[in-house]
Amino acid sequence: MPHSDFASLNRRQLIRLGGLALGAATLPSACRSGRDLGGETEGAVTTDEAAIAMPVRTAATGMSRVVLVKTTDRVAGTRKALDLLQPEGLSNQTVFIKPNYNTGDPAPAATDTALLETLVQEMQQAKAKSITIGDRSGMAQTRQAMTTKGVFQLADKYGLKALVFDELGRADWQYFAAGQTHWSKGFAIARPVLQAGAIINTCCLKTHRFGGHFTLSLKNTIGMVAKYVPGDDYNYMGELHSSPHQRLMIAEANAAYQPALVLLDGVEALVNGGPEAGKKVQAGVILAGTDRVAVDVVAIGILRSLGTTAAVADGSIWQLEQIRRAVELGLGASNHEQIEIVTADQPSQTLADQLRPLLRA
């Protein structure tokens, strides 16, 4: 495949993914069928060529920093979290923001519009070269959900690009071979995400009753993955949601990219049900980091502290399948000792102190 197809994955520190063989395959003149993804495919990248970016950690300590801000104000909390985290690599970059628009419902079912607007303002303040917002809904019609959430109005107001992934052409999808994943025919991710200089994953705090168990930053990545690719009649989401390996597959799709920033809105949480409805509680927190495993682990600790489903609450956080598989793939922190929770005030510090024992389990 042309070197440029993997350019966005090679901008940051790279490692080889031992044993996964997650090769990206370019689309031939006739769209590749789903069956082609399960074995050898013409034009597929070999194992030696496939490389995935490592999460960013503090060089001096080897720690994954997760900023925790105790707040009920999404706007102020977002600004404070980004000020504490000081994420790098956003200036003069093309930025892609992946929100959570599984539906167009109010947060925590979907990304809060005021939070999204604040994030856009912060990226423009950081001198981002351009900003694109895009998603694929799971339970709604994507364009309708994005319209309901005011995304196109934001795009007009700030000069952004808004993308509805369902409306992309076949050349706008990047196939990844099955390799040793649990995706029987591999999967495809929207090229505009992979081609961005910096990817921001902004997600909500909630459980998932359709087999994911929880839907945080790892699960939010699935909105980048195609349900169908034009010309390819295979239903990739049908396979995901019917598979006993769903939670492993969620982690495996994350190996295709590295976020520059993860911003999790935990002002409110769904502690059961989800992703669009369930028991809603006031959690009063914003999390930010660059390591999606670390952010999700802290978020699971918060769900456990609030009282949640047995599927989320039982056993070690590190043995939950999404987390365990992500650790196996080298996508982030592998134990609680590698997570540093950063706070700036007493209420945030008190919550962090309450969470730390839960992360050790």
- Residue 47's pLDDT is 27
- Terminal alpha carbon distance of the chain: 44
Q: Is 271 a member of any domain?
A: yes
Name the CA dihedral angle for 237, 171, 198, 11, rounded to a multiple of 10 degrees. Answer: 110
- Residue 60's pLDDT is 44
Task: Kindly state the average pLDDT of the residues 43-47.
Answer: 30
Task: Kindly state the average pLDDT of the residues 163-182.
Answer: 97
- Residues with Cβ within 8 Å of 273's Cβ and at least 6 positions away in sequence, in order, are 207, 209, 279
Q: Are 82 and 288 in contact (CB under 8 A)?
A: yes
**What is the number of domains present in the chain?**
1
Task: Kindly state the average pLDDT of the residues 229-236.
Answer: 97
Q: Is 59 a member of any domain?
A: yes
Q: Is 42 a member of any domain?
A: no
Q: Is 157 a member of any domain?
A: yes
Cis amide linkage into residue 108, ω under 30° from 0: yes
Q: Are 97 and 120 in contact (CB under 8 A)?
A: yes
Q: Is 279 exposed, middle or buried (0-12, 13-18, 19+ CB in 10 A)?
A: middle
Q: Is 118 a member of any domain?
A: yes
Q: Is 240 a member of any domain?
A: no
Question: Which residue segment(s) compose the domain that 139 sits in?
Answer: 55-169+189-228+245-360
**Per-residue model confidence as pLDDT tens digits over 285-296:** 999 999 999 999
pLDDT band at 24 (very low <50, low <70, confident <90, very high): low
Which DSSP symbol is given to 277? S
In terms of pLDDT, which residue wins out, 89 or 239? 239
Q: Is 263 a member of any domain?
A: yes
Q: Is 154 a member of any domain?
A: yes
Residues linked to residue 44 through DSSP beta bridges, in sequence order: 25
In terms of pLDDT, which residue wins out, 91 or 41? 91
Least confident range from 49-58, 70-79, 95-104: namely 49-58
pTM: 0.86
- Residue 62's pLDDT is 76
Q: Is the pLDDT of residue 8 over 90?
A: no
Question: Rounded to whole angstroms, how far apart are CA atoms 213 and 223?
Answer: 16
In terms of pLDDT, which residue wins out, 4 or 260? 260
Q: Are strands 261-270 and 198-208 parallel, antiparallel or unpaired?
A: parallel
| Percent above pLDDT 70 for the chain | 83
